[in-house]
Amino acid sequence: MSAPASTVGLRLKATGRNRRRLVVNTIAEGVATAAACAAVLILAIVVWSVFSRGVHALTWDLFTKGPAVFGQTGGGIAPAFAGSLLLVALATLMALPFGVLAAIYVSEFAPKPVAAQVRLWLDVLNGFPSIVIGIFVFALMIKTKLPVLGWGHHQSALAGAFGLAVIMLPLVSRAAMEVLNLVPAHQREASYALGVSKWQTVLRVVLPASLGGILTGTTLAIARAAGETAPLLFTCAISGTLVDWNPTHSVASIPLTIFTYSEAPDPQSHAQAWAAAFVLIAFILLSSLTARFLFERSRRKLGMAA
Amino acid sequence: MTAPATLPLPGEALAPTRNVRDRIGDRLLAGLTAAAAGVSVLIIALIVWRVVDGAWPAIRLFHLGFLWHNAWNPVTSQFGARDFVIGTIVTSFGAVLIAGPLSIAIGLFLSELAPRSVRGPIGTLVEMLAAVPSVVVGLWGIYVLAPFSAHHLQPFLSSFLGWIPIFAHGGDEVESTVFTAILVLTIMIIPITASICRDLFLGVPTELEEGAIGLGATRWEMVRTVVVPSVRGGVVAAVILGLGRALGEAIAVTQVIGNFIPLQPSIFEPGDTIASRLANQYAGAVSNTQVASLIYLALILLVITFVTNLAAQRVVKRFELQRTGGGS
């Protein structure tokens, strides 16, 4: 009597071709899951290595003192923190107005083919390697000898910030375009219906509605610029041991400090490089996570209004 | 019926009666924003012009032969790009070969397999990997990845594949190698390619997927026959964008590759790339010819990445046309 039951059991098991299909499916699902786990694992390993090695060298001196004189221990990288702040602030001042205005042009004024062209070329600019941007600013400096770009030793925070701004520009602009496009058409129409002119509509209705999105896009661009080394190599690499806020001087910066310290023979420099990397990565991950969170929220809000 | 005549639409109909401030304001804002857009696009022209101009002395001296001539000797002023070009191609394609399939797999996991509650957080984590600055990846590469690669991965791989010259192992455990650079680049391009792939796969219409499942396909068969074919062009573009990123990465590569020419036959030996040489020589250029040669290298890199990016854009555009054409 138990024989039929067992044949039924056998029937339910896939055999032959079907069995192979199921096995292949399981393998494929396993590979995809493993790949995703590997990516997350790598991030975890990178963050953990930076954290575990950097946290020991995180002292108050690191933020307040200049590099120690050769042969002495201690010291910090205060000039690099100040320099990075200066560089990123200058770069944001250069990139933000152009990026936002260009985005307003594309989404509010430009005829369709022109808008498509501007978008295409901004994407191309975004694809340029950052080292090439650095070389470009360098070539601009040695050729033009503008007093602002090359004062004293030809390198300056302004030149470095200009390089960073070229990198930020397409990021800011594309983010702004995306948000401006999300502003619902009926808000513009309501404004026109009240007899408001186009420029007033843009400045008083469209721009305020998308301000949150533009700010978060800018934060993402700042996070990117803060970690960029390549554009500074040729333009703002010489630095002193004191905190320097003069934009016409070449200043120290966090990424470049990590870069040079990582290849220095002195183990204390390595520890400081890890500590600097820890601060940098913490800043970048926190600010971009916050920005993305806010971006999603403002996008949802705009989407709900539509 | 006479109402429209007394209440004209905004714009042209009202123009004569509009006050001067609005007319000027409209023109001004349009002009200002157009100028900003123009400047943003003209930056590209400025970059190309300045780089070509800076490279001009080297172009006149070495002509196109710079591309296949192999030397980097500041003393005799002999410069050539061959080994750097080969190094760039080997590292980038190596990275894409590993990262491409992995990224597609991650994209599939995030779009088709992962439970909804896991999807968001893991997707964000993968994208966060892209936010780690290259100098930090490079620092990690020097002190964590390179030793692991030299003592475990490279001997292991060459014990299987050592009979092929490019996987030959010299016996010494070298830390700064082309292979380490490939691994670093792989890590850097996976998040870019994977997140684009995920978005593409999520865009595949659910009816198509359900149709395949309804016909009795397994999940894998659905992916292979419906999901991937319907976004093939986009996946190719995503991989090309990753390639573009790998081609231009300077800092992380220069930290781990060893900056060594002439080219070695094995990838378990030091090497160099265009971008890495540029980053490495930032303080060391002594003569005008060397500076011009460096800028010439940058020009080559610019052309390569430019062509790569335009190719990706083209693929996307053709793919979009195909899709809208097929959909209607």
pLDDT digits (tens, 9 = 90+) for B196-206: 999 899 988 88
Identify whether the C-beta of residue B176 lies closer than 8 Å to the C-beta of residue B256. yes
Contacts of A76 (CB under 8 A, 6+ apart): A59, A61, A62, A63, A64, A65, A66, A67, A272
Q: Which of residues 160-199 of B touch A (CB under 8 A)?
A: 187, 190-191, 194
Arithmetic mean of pLDDT over chain B: 85
Residue A75 near residue A67, CB atoms below 8 Å: yes
Average pLDDT rounded to a whole number, residues A48-77: 81
What ipTM was estimated for this complex?
Answer: 0.87
For A174-200, how does the pLDDT look when each residue is reduced to its tens digit (9 = 90+)?
A: 999 988 988 888 888 999 899 888 888
Confidence of residue A1 (pLDDT cuts 50, 70, 90): very low
Find residues 109-128 of chain B whose CB sits inside 8 Å of chain A: 109-110, 112-114, 122, 124-126, 128
Residues 6 or more apart whose CB falls under 8 angstroms from that of B98 comprise B182, B183, B186
Q: Please tell me the distance in Å from B261's CA to the nearest CA on chain A.
A: 19
A110-167 pLDDT, tens per residue? Answer: 898 999 899 989 988 998 999 999 989 888 876 665 554 444 457 888 888 999 999 9
Q: What is the mean pLDDT of residues B42-60?
A: 90
Is pLDDT of B215 > 70? Answer: yes
| Cβ contacts of B47 on chain A, cutoff 8 Å | 128, 132-133, 136, 166
B124-183 pLDDT, tens digit each: 888 888 889 999 999 999 999 999 988 888 888 888 887 888 887 777 778 888 999 999
| Per-residue confidence (pLDDT) for residue B187, from 0 to 100 | 93
Mean pLDDT of A248-262: 87
Task: Please report the pLDDT score of residue B150 as a whole number.
Answer: 87
Check pLDDT > 60 for residue B264.
yes
Q: In sequence order, what DSSP letters do the residues of B143-192 get, joined into one string?
A: IIIHHHIIIIIHHHHHHHHTTSGGG---SS--SS-HHHHHHHHHHHHHHH
Identify whether the C-beta of residue A272 lies closer than 8 Å to the C-beta of residue A261: yes
- Is the CB of B248 less than 8 angstroms away from the CB of A46? no
DSSP B90-128: HHHHHHHHHHHHHHHHHHHIIIIIS-HHHHHHHHHHHHH
**Higher pLDDT pick, A150 / B284:** B284
Q: What pLDDT is recorded for position B266?
A: 83
Sign of CA dihedral B40, B41, B47, B49: negative
Residue type, B59: I
Contact B277, B84 (CB under 8 A): yes
**What's the token pair of residue B30?**
């349009």
Give the nearest partner residue to B301 out of A45, A109, A129, using CB atoms. A129
Say if residue A263's pLDDT is above 50.
yes
pTM: 0.88
B324 pLDDT band, cuts 50/70/90, is: low
Give residue for tokens 């020009």.
B299
Gap from B156 CA to chain A (nearest CA, Å): 20
Q: Where are the alpha helices (DSSP H) in chain A?
A: 2-12, 16-54, 60-64, 78-104, 112-127, 130-144, 157-182, 185-193, 198-201, 207-226, 230-233, 254-262, 267-305
Q: What is the pLDDT of residues B297-308, one digit of tens each?
A: 999 999 999 999
Per-residue pLDDT for B99 more than 90? Answer: yes
A246-250, B89-93, B130-134: the lowest-pLDDT one: A246-250
Chain A contact present for B292, CB below 8 A: no
Does residue B17 have a pLDDT over 60?
no
Residue B323: what pLDDT? 59
pLDDT at residue B2 is higher than 50: no
Whether B78 shows a pLDDT value over 60: the answer reads yes
Q: Tell me the percentage of chain A whose pLDDT exceeds 90.
A: 29
Q: Measured between CB atoms, which of A134, A169, A262 is closest to B40?
A: A169
**Smallest Cβ distance to B136: which of A101, A130, A280?**
A280
What does pLDDT average to over chain A? 84
Average pLDDT over residues B25-44: 90
Residue A170: the pLDDT is 94
Q: What is the pLDDT of residue A16?
A: 81
DSSP at A14? -
pLDDT at A106 > cutoff 90: yes
- Checking if the pLDDT of A12 tops 90, the result is no
- In sequence order, what are the beta bridge partners of A75? A67
Locate the chain A residue with the closest alpha carbon to B53. A139
| Interface probe, candidates B84, B136, B193, B300, chain A, greatest A C-beta count within 10 A | B136
- Cβ <8 Å between A129 and B50: no
The answer to whether residue B79 scores a pLDDT higher than 90 is: no
